[in-house]
């Protein structure tokens, strides 16, 4: 897969097929990871809707895996706030339908191509609670940041459970404390967007409910 920017739009080449994303090149794209199980009415779903809404109001495009749960909720929040939402789905999940809150679907062939699209297109990442897929995506980004094989992209982990979880992993594997600090740990959606704003120098007007002085250390 090849990725690049031509004129005012972003382009992918998936094999022999060119995929053009109608996103202005100056607009930053935030990739959101999270589980497929939360449903409307769950607290996690509501927080992901809020995250999508805040991202859209801060003028970010929102990209996710395109299916249910957190992916649906963040897309819903962004779409309802008038934002751009992109879902990167997979041909091998042919029986699964993408969620209905996408302005654009990119159909990847497999996990590897999907991960490359997600990591290549992002200006930053936000991870909410998820399962094996979220852990796989986060591990890849972590390793790329640690080895400096990817330009620095802020990676925000939403939820107080993340730090003790990864500290436990570090206790049993060869992971340094410095490597734990490659992530930014926050408690909620508002802090996540504030943190992205700081690192990406977004000049968008702060939206109602945006926590002042909440950027994590």
State the fold for domain 2-200: Rossmann fold (3.40.50)
Predicted local distance difference test score (pLDDT) of residue 30: 97
pLDDT at 12 over 70: no
What is the DSSP secondary structure assignment for residue 97, as one 8-state letter?
A: P
Predicted local distance difference test score (pLDDT) of residue 27: 84
Answer for the pair 63, 121: CB distance below 8 angstroms, yes or no: yes
> pTM of this prediction?
0.85
Predicted local distance difference test score (pLDDT) of residue 94: 85
Answer for the pair 120, 144: CB distance below 8 angstroms, yes or no: no
pLDDT at 5 over 80: no
CA atoms of 156 and 111, how far apart (whole Å): 22
Evaluate the CA torsion angle 4, 147, 215, 78 in order and state its sign.
positive
Region of poorest pLDDT, from 5-9, 15-19, 22-26: 5-9
Smallest CA-to-CA distance from 113 within 10, 8, 14 is with 14
Mean pLDDT of the chain: 87
Place of tokens 């936000």: 126
Domain residue ranges of the chain, discontinuous segments joined by +: 2-200
Q: What percent of the chain has a predicted confidence (pLDDT) above 90?
A: 79
DSSP characters over 138-192: HHHHHHHHHTT-S----EEEESTTHHHHHHHHHHHTT--HHHHTTSEEESSHHHH
Place of tokens 């972590």: 142
pLDDT at 213 over 60: no
pLDDT at 129 over 80: yes
pLDDT class for 95, splitting at 50, 70, 90?
A: confident
CA atoms of 141 and 155, how far apart (whole Å): 8
Neighbour order of strands in the sheet with 2-6: 2-6, 9-14, 17-21
């Amino acid at each position: 897969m090849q990725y690049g920017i031509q004129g005012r739009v972003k382009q992918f080449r998936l094999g022999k097929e060119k995929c053009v994303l109608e996103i202005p090149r100056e607009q930053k794209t935030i990739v959101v990871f999270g589980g497929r199980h939360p449903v409307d009415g769950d607290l996690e779903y509501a927080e992901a809707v809020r995250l999508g809404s805040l991202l859209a109001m801060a003028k970010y495009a929102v990209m996710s895996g395109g299916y249910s749960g957190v992916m649906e909720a963040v897309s819903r929040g962004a779409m309802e706030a008038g934002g751009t939402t992109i879902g990167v789905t997979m041909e091998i999940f042919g029986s699964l339908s993408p969620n209905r809150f996408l302005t654009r679907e990119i159909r990847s062939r497999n996990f590897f191509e999907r991960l490359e699209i997600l990591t290549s297109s992002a200006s930053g990442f936000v991870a909410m609670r998820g399962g094996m897929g979220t852990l796989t995506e986060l591990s890849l980004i972590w390793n790329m940041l640690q080895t400096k094989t990817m330009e620095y992209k802020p990676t925000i982990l939403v939820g107080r459970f993340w730090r003790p979880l990864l500290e436990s992993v570090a206790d049993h594997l060869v992971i340094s404390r410095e490597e734990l600090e490659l992530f930014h740990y926050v408690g909620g959606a508002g802090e996540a967007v504030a943190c992205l704003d700081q690192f990406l120098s977004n000049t968008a007007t702060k939206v109602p409910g945006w926590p002042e002085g909440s950027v994590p250390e």
